[in-house]
Amino acid sequence: MQQVKPIFILGEFRTDSDVKLDTCFVSPAGAELLRMLNESGVIRFTPDDRVYLNKYYANSDFTCLEAIWQLHPEIIRSNVFQQHPPRNDLSWFCGPKASAIPGFGQLMNGRPKGSPYWTGNYVRQEFEHELDRLSAEIIASDPNLIICLGNTSLWAMSGRTGVAKLRGTTLLSSHTAADFKLLSTYHPSAIIRQWDNRPTVIADLMKAKRESAYPELRRPPREIWIEPTLEDIKLFISQYVAGCRLLSVDIETSGQRITCIGFATSSEIAIVIPFDDTRKKDGNYWPTREDEAKCWKLVRSILRDGSIPKLFQNGVYDISFLMRSYGILTLGAAEDTMLLSHALQPEGLKGLGYLGSIYSDEGAWKHMRKKDETIKRGA
């Protein structure tokens, strides 16, 4: 029988109680992390776990939290820094760029309010031994997945920050210990401060549980038609759109102009029809006005076909924009993922990037492409 690999959970730095007990995540944030791990199914509380948790809440006895962790050897815990910075001030580890650990970018974005320790945004080279220690821990445990809690752990493993943008998506580590699968989410201490992010962390941990079963990145197979000709569009319509049970429609706009429109007939098959092309001097994708007009006739034939049920994300915007700016009446609007999300969780976020991070295994595509970057055919 194949041995199940542990899940490696990585935090930022030790708390006072962590230092006293020579461990990690034995704090109010650690207690909240245990509860979220249980609710997400990453671990399952036993009766003993619940007894220890109740004792902790009754007496603030942090040894009870360590007792719970000891009952779950499937979880490996660590922090980027084994020290506890004064006043929990992360800038205590940082300094100017000249003192930075080679190969690592900045951890912080300016001076925290009221910080007496800030001298720069880069982790100082004197703390490089912490990353060496962390690398040895990860390699020794050889996990399928590392859960990065907060910006500091994401920075240590990927050289990047921005957990709010990258949370919920898997990527491979490039720093400290390379080629381990990562999934980042908010640190439990941040949840204590901003409780409405808790359902997001639960969803991220549920995904982490699934991802921990294998070490590689798995992306769903996709057949996406890009830079199509008129003949390509006609072929896609006849081959996939005709008789489609649910057609996903999405437009991208700039000012009062549609720059591209996408149609997906399933979760695997889609076409992206562009109208703008920044690589060309005139900015137009289609070589002549006649070709663009023919393209719009094909697009209109799809949108005006009421026999094809259509799915939108915030479709009120798309449908009204198409009518107001292009005179195209869209028929057959059947579902809207933003409205469905609101019905399911009224207080939750509803943007497409967020929903994709929760319900799909795609990467954080909203943050993959630079503003002026172009993508070649077949990329």
Structural domain including 315 reads 223-367
Burial 254-270 (b: 16+ CB within 10 A, else e): eeeebbbbbbbbeeebb
Residue 348 confidence (pLDDT): 87
Tell whether the model's pLDDT for residue 375 goes beyond 50: no
Question: pLDDT grade, residue 379 (50/70/90)?
Answer: very low
Distance CA 68, CA 74 (A): 12
Clarify whether residues 229 and 287 are in a common domain: yes
Q: Which helix (H) or strand (E) holds 138?
A: helix 128-141
Dihedral of CA atoms 127, 133, 137, 139 in degrees, nearest 10, equals 100
- Residue 204 in tokens: 């991220």
HSE, side-chain direction, 13 A CA sphere, residue 350: 16
Q: pTM of this prediction?
A: 0.89
Task: Quick: pLDDT tens for 21-33.
Answer: 999 999 999 999 9
Task: Quick: pLDDT tens for 316-371.
Answer: 999 999 999 999 999 999 999 999 999 998 888 899 889 999 988 887 776 655 54
Residue 373 confidence (pLDDT): 41
Q: Is the dihedral angle over the CA atoms 240, 356, 222, 375 positive or is it negative?
A: positive
Task: Quick: pLDDT tens for 158-200.
Answer: 999 999 999 999 999 999 999 999 999 999 999 999 999 999 9
Question: pLDDT grade, residue 377 (50/70/90)?
Answer: very low
CATH number of the domain where residue 181 is located: 3.40.470.10
Tell whether the model's pLDDT for residue 97 goes beyond 70: yes
Tell whether the model's pLDDT for residue 378 goes beyond 60: no
Residue showing tokens 């720059």: 259
Q: Which amino acid is at 212?
A: S
Q: Which amino acid is at 129?
A: H
Q: Please tell me the total count of domains within the chain.
A: 2
Residue 379 lies in a domain: no
The residue from 175, 191, 211 where one domain ends is 211
Clarify whether residues 320 and 186 are in a common domain: no
Residue 360 confidence (pLDDT): 85
Closest CA to 252 of 261, 242, 244, 243: 261
Tell whether the model's pLDDT for residue 81 goes beyond 70: yes
| Three-class DSSP category at 232 | helix
Clarify whether residues 205 and 234 are in a common domain: no
DSSP 170: E
